[in-house]
Amino acid sequence: MLEAAAAGLPIVATPASAGLVDLLQNREGVWLASDVSSDALRIALQNALTTIRPGLRYPHRWIEPYELPRAIASYESAIDHVLAGIAR
């Protein structure tokens, strides 16, 4: 999902977890099924396919915290925090 979002691709998903719903709900370029079922997924896919145009990209700004420069800095900070606790 993050790779698709980073490429600006449309996303169709089921609400498999509360975190996923919080992340994707009411976002442009995202079609979230009403529940975790094949029928709900089919409807979400059909809705997406009636909207999506060839070459259309979506600015999925919600992925910014996961982009490489921020992710590396966050991992380094977490590692430094753990190492500082061990050194005490």
DSSP state of 32: E
- For the segment 12-67, what is each residue's pLDDT rounded down to a tens digit? 999 999 999 999 999 999 999 999 999 999 999 999 999 999 889 998 888 887 77
pLDDT of residue 68: 77
Q: Is 87 helix (H, G, I), strand (E, B) or coil?
A: helix
> How far is residue 8 from each of residues 27, 49, 75, measured CA to CA in Å?
12, 16, 25
For CA atoms 68, 70, 76, 82, the dihedral sign is negative
Q: How many CB atoms lie within 10 A of CB 12?
A: 19
Provide the number of structural domains found in the chain.
1
Range of the domain at 20: 2-87
pLDDT band at 70 (very low <50, low <70, confident <90, very high): confident
